[in-house]
Amino acid sequence: MRPDDLNARDLSNPARLLSALRLLRREVYREGKAIFESWKPLIHRKDFRFSAQNFAYYLAFRKRDLRAVQRALIPLGLSSLGRSESHVLQNLDAVIASLTAICAPQKSSSVAHLSRADFYRGQNLLRANADAVLGKAPDRRTVRIMVTLDAAVAKNYDHVLRLLESGMNCARINCAHDTPDDWELMIRHVHRAEQSTGLSCRVFMDLSGPKVRTGAVHTPPHRQRVQKGDVIYIYGNRPKRTATLKNLFQVQCTLPHILPQVGVGAEVWIDDGHIGAVVESVLSGGFMARVTHIEDKGRKLRPDKGLNFPTVSLNISPLTDKDLVDLDFIVQHADAVSYSFVQTADDIKLLQSELQKRLAPRRKDFSVVAKIETKRAVENLPEIIIQAAGSFPLGVMIARGDLAVEIGYQRIAEIQEELLWICEAAHVPVIWATQVLENLVKKGIPSRAEITDAAMSERAECVMLNKGRFIVEAVDILDNVLMRMQQHQQKKAPQLRALHSWRR
């Protein structure tokens, strides 16, 4: 059966629908088993075998358009298969058993249904994996809250204590900022606050990675802002000294060795996507890019801003010399490492090799978080998950800032959903990150849209907040929003709690 055959069939007859579902189940099993067999050499953790099998079945299941099947199942009062992520075969088996009873009611007593333990095994594994990576969820909610710490926090134990009391469950330290002395003091404050409150808090440390950023900036005479149509010269080590270039905006790339990989027609996005340009010509030391997207009033070019090349598969090692030094600290002080700029399974292999050199053989509790922030990482996510979770407890962070620039803002909501589904199928916990309650954290007043975003984040296993002046208030509000939403939603499944907003 081809992936599109189901939509071409008339499935209004229950017997015909049952036949189609049985065929679908056989093919999903056959194709999924073949995928799993190819993965088996990479799976060294026995705890991950069942999850990998379910993941393989899900990939086979979702390559088909199943909307006709869903429309046929709903009027019969059966599951439409729309929440099969954590238990693909089990959900198919349950629907087939119920549909068999409908088609042959005289034999309904002989139809075998799955036990509750078998049906919910996938969901229970996801919860256990979330506990292993993120720590146990607090009694009052199922989603953890992660907070980014900084040097200011390192000097203020009372601030860390307030964060823990307000609802912080995971502390994040970004190795791109501050110093090892600062990091050690932050971690000491976290552990002291744990002892004081009796609450637990996992420590996550982000490797800096090879972040491509702007360096030195030159603006032409009498110009402050880049406008649409302007040409920007992006160079490596040294700018060219010509009269023509003096009248152009110029910006240095902090990773000059990637510039030869960028050709004519490539897209360039600067400053988290605020400036978009297309490469028009390539020079020996850089290239010329014409601005195609920018706000009406223009924007200033500034140093230390992100540079993204979404249409180029950059060949960059995700581990820098600094990362390797930082990794020595991380394995001694943190519960998990967050891996920036991971794009392939080979990138995971590289990190695994470095961790094996540093971790004690018996330490099984150390976790890896793969930060998904590029189009290439999205495309390679199944291989990344299998390579990583086959050896270490794994979490996935949806790094929505860079990811939105890489795949386009129009697709970020769609891809975010797909990442949640994929990870649930592999029973891998997800961290929902970037700009959550950003206005509240920085200015003290949330926008309406970001409150809705925070409410939707309940479908992940953890939500990350960045640092800011009003971070304690933001943790408190996020805690309240998540507690409310978990009564109404679990992953994609609505929870039919009694509604109290209207009196009858």
Which residues in the chain are classed under CATH 2.40.33.10? 214-308
What's the confidence (pLDDT) of residue 2?
A: 56
What is the distance between the alpha carbons of residues 296 and 398, in angstroms, rounded to a whole number?
30
What's the confidence (pLDDT) of residue 247?
A: 83
What is the distance between the alpha carbons of residues 118 and 502, in angstroms, rounded to a whole number?
39
CB distance 338 to 429 below 8 Å: no
Order the strands of the 286-293 sheet from edge to edge.
214-218, 249-253, 231-235, 286-293, 275-282, 267-270, 307-308
DSSP-derived 3-state class of residue 199: coil
Structure tokens at 409: 């803002």
What is the distance between the alpha carbons of residues 187 and 173, in angstroms, rounded to a whole number?
9
**Residue 367 is which amino acid?**
S
What's the confidence (pLDDT) of residue 239?
A: 67
What is the distance between the alpha carbons of residues 216 and 225, in angstroms, rounded to a whole number?
16
Structure tokens at 62: 């979702």
Which residues in the chain are classed under CATH 3.20.20.60? 134-210+317-493
What is the distance between the alpha carbons of residues 216 and 222, in angstroms, rounded to a whole number?
18
For the chain, first and last CA: distance in Å?
51
What's the confidence (pLDDT) of residue 105?
A: 76
What is the distance between the alpha carbons of residues 323 and 269, in angstroms, rounded to a whole number?
25
What's the confidence (pLDDT) of residue 285?
A: 86
What is the distance between the alpha carbons of residues 27 and 17, in angstroms, rounded to a whole number?
15
What's the confidence (pLDDT) of residue 127?
A: 96
What is the distance between the alpha carbons of residues 66 and 5, in angstroms, rounded to a whole number?
10
pLDDT, tens only, 82-115:
999 999 999 999 999 999 989 987 766 556 778 8
What is the distance between the alpha carbons of residues 72 and 448, in angstroms, rounded to a whole number?
38
pLDDT, tens only, 185-221:
999 999 999 999 999 999 999 999 998 999 999 999 8
Structure tokens at 260: 């030869």
CB distance 122 to 427 below 8 Å: yes
CA separation, residue 7 to residues 28, 66, 385 (Å): 16, 7, 31
Please tell me the chain's helix, strand, coil percentages from 3-state DSSP, rounded to the nearest 5. Answer: 50, 15, 35
The pTM of the full predicted model, rounded to 2 decimals, is 0.93
What's the confidence (pLDDT) of residue 238?
A: 74
**Residue 185 is which amino acid?**
L
What's the confidence (pLDDT) of residue 272?
A: 87
214-308 CATH, one of 1.10.4080.10, 3.40.50.10470, 2.40.33.10, 3.40.50.1220: 2.40.33.10
Assigned superfamily of 134-210+317-493: Phosphoenolpyruvate-binding domains (3.20.20.60)
> What string of pLDDT tens digits covers the 504 residues of the chain?
554 566 556 888 999 999 999 999 999 999 999 999 999 999 999 999 999 999 999 999 999 999 999 999 999 999 999 999 999 999 999 999 999 989 987 766 556 778 889 999 999 999 999 999 999 999 999 999 999 999 888 889 999 999 999 999 999 999 999 999 999 999 999 999 999 999 999 999 999 999 899 999 999 988 899 999 999 999 998 766 666 677 889 999 999 999 999 999 999 999 989 999 999 999 888 999 999 999 999 999 999 999 999 999 888 899 999 999 999 999 999 999 999 999 999 999 999 999 999 998 767 789 999 999 999 999 999 999 999 999 999 999 999 989 999 999 899 999 999 999 999 999 999 999 999 999 999 999 999 999 999 999 999 999 999 999 999 999 999 999 999 999 999 888 888 888 888 866
